[in-house]
Structure 1
């Protein structure tokens, strides 16, 4: 390794140099004493400690401050990317030093001392007072950054406070908020990341509880406050939001593709009390021809009562006498079984003594299991930070899986009640509170990786932290109220969480808390649910959340929503694949594509579903009008249901319909869809309805269809996949559409046919050919729709020419 040292040079010269912006706000007590470059790491010695600056890539740089008297803690709960061999340059410019990758430049001003960051010459952010130690035992350590006027901020986890979160101070302490509505400042996922409208992110790499202040004092300061632990953060930058998402998820891990059945419909409530009731519910869906892929069992599967039984984690044979046979029968019908578990073992549970004897539980200061009261009874907490706790819980999951369980629901994993005096194997509760759910998901994911490496786990969790997506965690937004306010908050929560890596954030469709029977609210929530990551109606049992038990009209409308969800399977599975490869979320805010940052993209009420759909949920009762902003001046959007044309860059008022919410498709989009099946087990992808949305303004476009067996872990990486790529080219009245198939090296190609539906064709084409030969086609004048059958073949490779 090369080593260069620049120690105490040109300090006198620095005094006469012009100060950089915000310099007067710096920590005047911190003095630069020397700089050493050791390979790709820059070490900056100061009067109160040392900084380590190292790049992970050209657009990701990590900075760590180690105060005098402390040692480097290299362990990260979030970062999995290895620092890359990125070319760096170190320059001494007298008043300042610059340490640059091909993308990010880190500038160190000598006096007053300051570290700042720029990307491709564009200033991003600068430390303000930088790191400051506690002044008293009860104080927090802080790291401060200077913000620009007008800079919008996003992040800090799952909240409902408005898309631009600047002006708020957020607690970093995962906590349930029962029955929340249109606003919630603290929920089950708090994530120490700030994303800026300037297209950068700062991730604070420390899981301990604290605060993230998005300029609540209105003094232009981003402030991270924590009780102790690492003083490490990463800066991620990009020219586009795509690059920022790719950088952040490359750093913290990407979501593996879930099993295909996770994109189907779930039957779920709190809760099914017996085998007979559960069987009857599943059969009702089949009888009503409402597709179903999973049934979710709440805590009654291990006990007859809500209180006193948590921790049993075994079938109650009085109420579920033949659970294994029940699950096998469901599997024959294409329905998976998901069961709930919690990290609490009550002193009244059947496993209490087993957990005590096995040293499974977190302890008090005397070394005995720490017990305390909460809603469900007197309890201990499983200590995931010692092997006895992890092995005990995994052994239970292994046995349940052998009996037929297909998916895991982890509830109360904040943990819901987590006393400060409780001791885990690696320290106090405050050290691990925020990553308890994260490490619970890790336990399941790593268990599958070792013992069932070919299977994709389904892991539904109520709490997690930065990087949890890499374990396949599917988060939900907690116990939202059954109210219009509860529905109104859901878009923001999902959009923000997708920007923070957890792209499968979703809600209990219809709302969870409260005995509210409102069919209009229920239907509108399900219609929104079609265009969000997981379709799972769930609620307290006083009012049924399953469509099969709703009023006749609500049932009809709910069934239509479920059918559309299943018809969308090819598109949804493809954008999920893209998320696994690039980190781009499934739900995306309009600012991801809006060219004019002055447009009203701060509102979460209209959003993108994948790259091609614009969705405007109806979130008010009796709505007769809905404002929709169509992004990007010069673009064109088509009404998904009527084909009506809308221009981009315009705020319009549209009229909602009872049967669906307003949904629009981007001109130039390829949208693969399928015939509706009762369960994804029956889905093949061998006959696809391919919708192409033609407009003369689109000269060229592309899209794709991703397919695999829907269940093999790492199918793409193993070459067990097929991708059909679509292209369009339009010039001089001639529309060309191409198909090209990429087949993985370990995939047995099968015949795949397409029914091509070209929208917005105003006149019968003069000719339609496939590979130069005349092809049969049908043109519907009323719907301006041209249909062409592309015959099935292995490795689909065809060229269509349509003379308009």
Structure 2
């Protein structure tokens, strides 16, 4: 082997010249480097206790794998990572105290004595190992140095406050019924840590364990596991947008949900009969409250809560004509979604079939493992067994043939998962955290194989790193129907959006407990307008559907739902951006001001896309709110038009009709005409609102359009992106619209009603090209309205002359 690619270490160099900021006191002096060897696509480092391999995945991502001496890579294939390593030119450079392995913007420094690994991004130190690898009583551990001031995010869905530093968090998906403002263990325990220093560490191992985020207050981050892979990826970037993109590139992009998923859902626990379900939808229609889907909880297959899980077929007494019911709903634009669970009770109609087909997880002797939990005596479908997966998928195919459109996967942690239970390729504890992930994968791959033109809707409450790539729509579990339950929701959604799961949402109104609080209900639904999925759902003692609430709160709920539908083009474009770039729909304020440490723990205000600032009302009887306005552009009250300067704070009055919402200067907001169902929407006719401000010389926006249902519409070239541009100079505002279409997108002309806000004097002239346009200007509101009809290939330009 050529000398330049191979360094043999027989002794140590005592110098420590490079990383003077990193303490050496905790380093494991017993770990010794033996050889360092550069390979074509990686760096191999052999120590006295094992072997490291450092592999660049991109210019901003490097993977570290460690195999302890005497072990082998127990799971050679990652459940999370889908990115194929790029061919990144790498340089191995000898340093005074070891070597630098530089690939792209990432540098791994191997300090020889005492042995230590450090990571840099563009020559900026990110972090370093502390003890590194060690064996502990409960398994194995990797630990790292933290700076004293960095804020830590991640670890899945928790209710802890935005800064999760100071906790030792279990990596074990587990439901928390009736939680409120504090929950250290919930349904998504993703092994990912994100730092305010703009890096992330993803621990690529499904086995259960802990993430210790400096619980001992000694500046230590530690990953603990019962076993499995000692593999982690380091991701870095110059912005939160880059960091989000890096992680999603690594673990997979979320497919576009069907457009109807951005509408309103009728849902409760639960609809007991076909007659009841029909009456609910009829009530929505009579009240003229928009709705797009109805969700059936477990009464669709059983008359009782207990003893029926696993039937997985419509109860013939209460649902005598399910196919006709579903067909009738479809004709009205209403999609049918069914709950399914992975448990087959011994009292269910399919127990014998499950045993005979050998689809259940087993005991050590290979017999079905049965146990008691809330719903009865049960077995568990082994979703790690290909045969069991085929069996379960055939259940879905049969139901889909009846017209079912969407799937709700419940109890998928699994809710009770005894450690002694055995799966096809591992124990319960080894695969527990990927069970929901594999469930979503089963449905997604089934659709891709058998219904390749359709987008699945997959609502689930448990998953793992990368579950977004299967189209999983996560929700935050059985939150208490209380103000404390509401207060935790923005944090959970923001954190999960940063971890790739951009559609995290809550049971609007709260789920657990018979609490009738009209103010809470209205505020929760008003918040729901500006979060990914609008789905009121609750235990049936208090109605979750707005049509059954008091007239005053029903009116507030109706207004919120109508606004949700008006925002469909904007929201669907956010979904497109997420699909393309990994950007979450809900974003913390520090996305707009990453250098502002005061924003690092803020969750009571957030960004909806880049153009809206939202401040949910989270306290009963709240009269005013202190709100900070981030970024470098002014903000306007979405309802009153009041101006707030970028970088300022203000006390804002709280009103009953809506929560505080602000729109950014220079924002283009495409909106739909009033509709009762998303199938009534067409991208051929939309409203466009532009929020003018003299300080904004240039601005841009867009609208994404497709048929709302074809899978991979972008890849199939069945889409259009309508671009909006503005320029303001010398007293004249110029607007330009243009459209880029895929080759298989049908040609269409468009009608656009343009409203330009904050035009305080009557325009001297409005022209399109050289043709004067009729316009309507409202002196009291400052709104300028223009009707524009334009052909498919046109690029209309409008000039608004505001002064001579």
TM normalised by structure 1 equals: 0.98
What is the distance in 1 between the residues matched to 2:674 and 2:431?
45
3-state secondary structure, aligned to 1:599: helix
Match of 1:161 in 2: 160
Aligned to 2:666: 668
Match of 2:677 among 679, 686, 690: 679
2:445 aligns to what SS in structure 1?
A: helix
Determine the structure 1 residue equivalent to 2:752.
Answer: 754
Aligned position for 1:274:
273
Aligned counterpart, 1:739: 737
- The yes-or-no answer on 1:219 pairing with 2:221 is no
C-alpha separation between the residues in 2 aligned to 1:480 and 1:4? 59
| Residue in 2 that maps onto 1:110 | 112
The residue that corresponds to 1:83 in the other structure is 85
* Partner in structure 1 of residue 796 of structure 2: 798
Indicate yes or no: 2:189 matched with 1:190: yes
Shift of 1:304: 0.4
User: Residues 12 and 113 of structure 2 are in contact (CA less than 8 Å); yes or no, is this contact kept in structure 1?
Assistant: no
Q: Which residue of 2 aligns with 1:339?
A: 338
Residue ranges of structure 1 left out of the alignment (5+ in a row): none
Query: Which residue in 2 is equivalent to 1:649?
Result: 647
* Counterpart-to-counterpart distance in 1, 2:12 and 2:188: 49
Task: Check the 8 A contact 2:749/2:789 in 1, yes or no.
Answer: no
1:359-384 deviation per Cα after TM superposition (whole angstroms, max 9, x unaligned) = 01001112110000001000000001
1:576 counterpart = 2:575: yes
Aligned partner of 1:515 in structure 2 is: 514
Cα distance change of structure 1 residues 641 and 89 upon mapping to structure 2, 3 Å threshold = same
Using a 3 Å threshold, how does the CA distance of structure 1 residues 521 and 32 change in structure 2: closer, same or farther? same
Evaluate the alpha carbon distance shift between residue 789 and residue 172 of structure 1 in structure 2; reply closer, same or farther with a 3 A threshold: same
Does the C-alpha gap of structure 1 residues 388 and 695 become closer, same or farther in structure 2, counting only changes over 3 Å? same
**CA gap 1:264/1:91 in 2 versus in 1, 3 angstroms:** same
Q: Deviations for 1:177-206, whole angstroms, at most 9, x for unmatched residues?
A: 000111111110110000000111100000
Partner of 1:36: 37
Match in the other structure for 1:710: 708
Secondary structure of the residue aligned to 1:108 is strand
Report 1:26-425 matches (<5 A): 26-72=27-73, 73-134=75-136, 138-425=137-424
Query: In terms of mean alpha carbon deviation, does 59-68 or 98-107 score higher?
Result: 98-107
Do 1:9 and 1:94's aligned partners in 2 also have CA atoms closer than 8 Å? no
Post-superposition Cα deviations, 1:570-603, rounded to whole Å, max 9, x if no partner, equal 0000000000000000000000011542333412
Work out the CA distance in 1 between the residues paired with 2:703 and 2:420.
53
- What's the secondary structure of 2:430's corresponding residue? helix
- Please tell me whether the aligned partners of residues 4 and 38 of structure 1 are also in contact (alpha carbons under 8 angstroms): no
1:588 alignment partner in structure 2: 587
State the SS of the aligned residue for 1:718.
coil
Give the paired residue count. 800
Distance in 1 between residues matched to 2:463 and 2:346, nearest whole Å: 26
Once residues 411 and 791 of structure 1 are traced to their aligned partners in structure 2, the CA distance between those partners, rounded to angstroms, is 47
Could you say what secondary structure the match of 2:724 adopts? strand
Quote the Cα distance in structure 1 between the aligned partners of 2:91 and 2:147.
27
Kindly state the Cα deviation for residue 18 of structure 1 after the two structures are TM-superposed: 6.7
Residues of 2 paired with 1:645 and 1:286: CA distance?
38
Distance in 1 (alpha carbons) for counterparts of 2:688 and 2:663: 13
Partner in structure 2 of residue 7 of structure 1: 7
Q: Could you list the runs of 5+ residues in structure 2 that have no partner in the other structure?
A: none
Distance, in Å, in 2 between the alignment partners of 1:9 and 1:417 is: 51
| Maintained 8 Å contact 2:701/2:724 | yes
- Asked whether the equivalents of residues 624 and 656 of structure 1 are also in contact (C-alpha less than 8 Å), the reply is yes
Q: CA separation in 2, counterparts of 1:477 and 1:109?
A: 43
- 1:425 deviates by 0.8
Equivalent-residue separation in structure 2 for 1:767 and 1:651 (angstroms): 37
Residue 635 (structure 1) shift? 2.2
Look up the SS of the partner of 2:315 in the other structure: coil
Corresponding residue for residue 787 of structure 2 = 789
- Structure 1 residues 59-68 or 123-132, which shifts more? 123-132
CA contact (8 A) 1:7 1:33 kept: no
- Give me the TM-score of the superposition, normalised by structure 2: 0.98
Contact 2:636 2:643 in 1 (8 A): yes
Question: Could you tell me whether the CA contact under 8 Å between 2:12 and 2:112 is conserved in 1?
Answer: no
Residues 479-514 of structure 1, C-alpha deviations (whole Å, 9 max, x = no match): 001000000000000000000000000000000000
Distance 1:505 1:19 in 2: 40
User: Following TM superposition, by how much is the alpha carbon of 1:15 offset from its aligned partner in structure 2, in angstroms?
Assistant: 4.0
Per-residue CA deviations over 1:145-178 (Å, capped at 9, x if unaligned) read 1011110000000001100111111111000000
